[in-house]
Amino acid sequence: MPEPTPKYAPLVTASGLTVDMPLGRDGNSVRIVDNIDFSIGVGERVALVGESGSGKSLTARALMRLDRLARLSGRIDFDGQDLLKLSEREMTRYRGSAIAMVFQDPMSFLDPLMTIGDQVAETLRIRGVGKAEARKRALAVLDELGVDRAAERLDAYPHEFSGGMRQRVVLAMALVGEPRLLIADEPTTALDVRVQDQVLDLLDDVSARRGLAVLFITHDLGVVAGFAERVMVMYSGRIVEDGEVEQVFAHPKHPYTRGLIKAVPRIDQDLHKLYAIPGAPPPPLARPSGCPFHPRCSESFDRCVSELPAVLNVGGERVACHLHDPLRV
Ligand code: SF4
């Protein structure tokens, strides 16, 4: 079973987690997330990175069972409870109060016709909290997140807020239920760099103050370096490398991670010489045999074409690559 960074007690542990999505009505499905194991500790900040289509968002959504059509298998243990065994009604209690999520585009998430105060309070109202108490707690969390003149602005509408302030409101909606794990799915992608830094600082503060674990989904390795303690790299529905950020960035062990790091533009770099990993990720219906990365990997050898690499423990990290198998042939 995967362990979080040793200094953290485990909060959520996924074992053999698999996500299949149905194709049409004939019972066929496509595997998007393929038998992955990972663990996140209490208060730990973990980044999940990979190109579009790698399965990052569906992995995160599976933790909250958000996709009604998805067929989930394996286990997701949260505080000792397997979330995949809960009824939909029991799961509703977990969403928001145990695990909450913030998304990329706050404007598409906010209801333009509802006041900010009502939207933040709604998470609590759904759980039976009285109107006055829900409003009081909504104000407290907006204050905590640095929304200016929060008391006056409880009755304002989303269009009266700037992009950065709207992201704070969305964060308040996620945090008002006092979750223990926050899933942040590319929450800063639509923001300019200055506001992005402010939101990251805010998440950093809140996580430290509340002992809140954060699973941060991004394709931006700069954000990973600034925010997370541990990084999990996903490719074609599998986690191919999982280790402490400093160690992974200094000594990436999987060729795909090396490619991602090499592709980060440097400020002194000639724009004509930017590196890109050759090729594109395979569609889930046309995954290559063996290691799914082999058609793009400059280090592949015969075994890579025929055999899926197992996840190996390599110097305290988990790596799925035949290069690290001591019995490599
Ligand atoms: Fe490359 Fe082979 Fe390692 Fe896959 S298993 S990343 S193809 S060396």
Q: Which pLDDT score is estimated for 271?
A: 67
Q: Which pLDDT score is estimated for 191?
A: 66
Q: Which pLDDT score is estimated for 78?
A: 94
Measured in Å, residue 10 CA sits from the centre of ligand 1 at 30
Q: Which residue, judged by its Cα, is nearest atom 8 of ligand 1?
A: 300
Examine residue 255 and state whether it is found in any structural domain, yes or no.
yes
Examine residue 280 and state whether it is found in any structural domain, yes or no.
no
Examine residue 26 and state whether it is found in any structural domain, yes or no.
yes
20 and 91 belong to one structural domain: yes
Q: Which pLDDT score is estimated for 329?
A: 64
Measured in Å, residue 164 CA sits from the centre of ligand 1 at 41
29 and 158 belong to one structural domain: no
Q: In CATH, what number is assigned to the domain containing residue 223?
A: 3.40.50.300
Q: Per-10-residue mean pLDDT for the chain, 329 residues long?
A: 68 97 86 96 95 92 93 94 93 87 77 94 89 95 90 92 86 93 82 77 91 92 90 97 96 97 79 83 93 96 96 95 86
- Domain boundary among the residues 124, 147, 177 is at 177
158 and 198 belong to one structural domain: no
44 and 90 belong to one structural domain: yes
138 and 194 belong to one structural domain: no
- Atom index in ligand 1 nearest the CA of residue 303 equals 2
Share of the chain above pLDDT 90, in %: 67
166 and 18 belong to one structural domain: no
Measured in Å, residue 321 CA sits from the centre of ligand 1 at 5
Examine residue 130 and state whether it is found in any structural domain, yes or no.
yes
How many CA atoms are closer than 13 Å to the CA of 267, on its beta-carbon side?
Answer: 1
What span, in angstroms and rounded, lies between the C-alpha atoms of 35 and 58? 13
Q: Which pLDDT score is estimated for 181?
A: 96
- Domain boundary among the residues 177, 199, 226 is at 177
pTM of the prediction? 0.91
What span, in angstroms and rounded, lies between the C-alpha atoms of 132 and 124? 11
Q: Which pLDDT score is estimated for 104?
A: 72
62 and 207 belong to one structural domain: yes
Residues with C-beta less than 6 Å from any ligand 1 atom: 254-255, 291, 293-294, 297, 299-300, 304, 309, 321-323
Q: Which pLDDT score is estimated for 126?
A: 85
244 and 119 belong to one structural domain: no
Q: Which pLDDT score is estimated for 193?
A: 75
Q: Which pLDDT score is estimated for 327?
A: 79
Domain that holds residue 26: 10-98+179-271
Tell which one of 322, 324, 325, 327 to mutate to probe ligand 1, the residue whose CB is within 8 A of the most ligand atoms: 322
Do 162 and 168 meet the contact criterion of CB atoms below 8 Å apart?
A: no
* Structure tokens that stand for 48 in this block: 């999940």
Q: Which pLDDT score is estimated for 75?
A: 97
Examine residue 293 and state whether it is found in any structural domain, yes or no.
no
Structurally, the chain folds into a number of domains equal to 2
* Structure tokens that stand for 173 in this block: 């909606």
What span, in angstroms and rounded, lies between the C-alpha atoms of 246 and 248? 6
144 and 240 belong to one structural domain: no
Q: Which pLDDT score is estimated for 164?
A: 81
Do 163 and 136 meet the contact criterion of CB atoms below 8 Å apart?
A: no
94 and 197 belong to one structural domain: yes
158 and 16 belong to one structural domain: no
**How far is the CA of 202 from the CAs of 14, 137, 178, 190, 238, in angstroms?**
27, 18, 16, 16, 30
Q: Which pLDDT score is estimated for 136?
A: 95
Examine residue 296 and state whether it is found in any structural domain, yes or no.
no
Examine residue 278 and state whether it is found in any structural domain, yes or no.
no
205 and 76 belong to one structural domain: yes
- Atom index in ligand 1 nearest the CA of residue 256 equals 6
